[in-house]
Amino acid sequence: NMSVFLRSGYCQTVALCDVDRWRLNVEGNPTVARVAKRNKWDPALLNDTFRTTDFRELLAHPRVDAVMINTPDHWHVPIALAAVKAGKHIACEKPIGLAIAHGRALADAVAESDIIFRTDSNFRSEPELFRTVSLVRTGKIGQIKKIRISVPIYPVPEPNEAPMPVPEELDYEMWQGPVQRQPYTEDRVHPRGKLGRPGWFCNRLYCDGMITNWGYHPADIVQWANDTELTGPVEVEGRADMPPVDQLYNVHGEFQVRYRYANGVELEFVGRKDYKEGESYMHFEGTEGWVRGWRAPNRIEAEPRSILSAEVKYEDFPFELRNEKTDFIECIRSHSRTLEDAEVGHRSSTVPQLGYIACLLGRKLQWDPVKEEFPGDDEANKLAAGHAGLPPWTIES
């Protein structure tokens, strides 16, 4: 995530924060050297940076104007809210928190501030997906009727659940942050001393799984293409393979969710184990044809094929194709709204969060996207207000 900032010509990295001290030791770090070589920047640019394991010290640094939040999902909203209070511009990894209410709190806080916010998702920056949305938004497939999107469910090995001593280089108390305290085991957090797929991705305390974490990407493309990025669906039902909640790896397995929007558009969202690494499609059916954008490998398909060569004028689709970090940088420089600000990020996060709640409850739900509540449904509203499936944590805590 630092690479575009370091190459931009407009940014300096003046501070680094990580609860794991080995990641802060960038000098001579072979991982840093490898990433720097691949992304064409000089690792010496990081040599004089301020280092801390406490994000509050980074936010208090006088030379920090903007922050990039790359934490596990359970820390996104608390750190972002603290950054808003500190007056820092924010690029924040998706999704916007683990609860719909927390996303609303962040979106409102940003709206009341003077900061620039960018939800960090790269799908709007992929040329094929940008083109897919432009064809849908300008009516090249006629009126939208149905949408289908997908994410892969990555296989994970059985974790070691036995408690282990906390590594001396890890501030485990800070890593846990706003959630319930649990004994340390490496498979709960991330591999020690190396990069690799982290265990927190598979535990409901820190992440809701692929449906919300990776699912944010195609859900955001749906919201953009359907011109509903400031609202959302009105009905949802779903099912998912759910392991016992008391297991260490307890997020969902394969799932299927169906939504209906107020404009009559139906959305199907599936997660499958047989999809390849990174594979995802966004398929839009209209009255005059269909178009499908793929991620990994990136490509675009349509029927009739003539849709692919249709002209899209800028005045009809007035958006600029550029890297998401570049969008953040340029909007800070011009003090303008990013392509995926906090309100958009919250609304796009809400779509898979609604699906997750429907899977947990196992029944059809009605959703009011204006009031952001399930009308007359206390059980569903409790899940929307707190952490889905576990006792809620408060923003203040």
For the whole model, what pTM was predicted? 0.96
Q: Is the peptide bond before 95 cis (omega within 30 degrees of 0)?
A: yes
Residue 331 and residue 337 in contact, taking contact as beta carbons nearer than 8 Å? yes
Hey, how many other C-beta atoms are within 10 angstroms of the C-beta on 207? 20
Distance CA 131, CA 124 (A): 9
Please name every residue paired with 282 in a beta bridge, in sequence order, or none if there are none: 149, 293
Distance CA 326, CA 154 (A): 30
Please state which of the ranges 114-123, 278-287, 387-396 shows the lowest mean pLDDT: 387-396
Mean pLDDT of 245-262: 97
Angle between helix 127-137 and 216-225 (nearest 10)? 30
> What per-residue confidence (pLDDT) applies to 387?
57
Assigned token pair, 262: 């107020």
Distance CA 238, CA 342 (A): 26
Q: pLDDT confidence of 31, banded at 50, 70, 90?
A: confident
Distance CA 270, CA 251 (A): 15
Distance CA 380, CA 350 (A): 13
Residue 73 and residue 98 in contact, taking contact as beta carbons nearer than 8 Å? yes
pLDDT, one tens digit per residue, over 162-177 is 999 999 999 999 999 9
Q: pLDDT confidence of 197, banded at 50, 70, 90?
A: confident
> What per-residue confidence (pLDDT) applies to 395?
52
86 pLDDT more than 70: yes
Q: pLDDT confidence of 35, banded at 50, 70, 90?
A: confident
Residue appearing with tokens 């016992």: 244
Nearest residue to 370 via CA among 392, 397, 350, 396: 350
Distance CA 330, CA 4 (A): 12
pLDDT, one tens digit per residue, over 93-146 is 999 989 999 999 999 999 999 999 999 999 999 999 999 999 999 999 999 999
Mean pLDDT score of the chain: 94
> What per-residue confidence (pLDDT) applies to 388?
47
Assigned token pair, 76: 């996104």
Percentage of the chain surpassing pLDDT 90? Answer: 84
- What is the phi/psi pair of residue 317, to 5°? -140, 80
Q: pLDDT confidence of 276, banded at 50, 70, 90?
A: confident
Give the single-character DSSP code of 75.
Answer: G
Q: pLDDT confidence of 382, banded at 50, 70, 90?
A: very high
Mean pLDDT of 259-268: 98
Please state which of the ranges 42-56, 110-124, 209-223, 346-360 shows the lowest mean pLDDT: 42-56
More confident residue, 313 or 45: 313
3-class SS string, 123-153: HHHCHHHHHHHHHHHCCCCCCEEEEEEEEEC
Percentage of the chain surpassing pLDDT 70? Answer: 97
> What per-residue confidence (pLDDT) applies to 194?
84
pLDDT, one tens digit per residue, over 43-79 is 888 988 999 999 999 999 999 999 999 999 999 999 9
pLDDT, one tens digit per residue, over 132-172 is 999 999 999 999 999 999 999 998 899 999 999 999 999 99
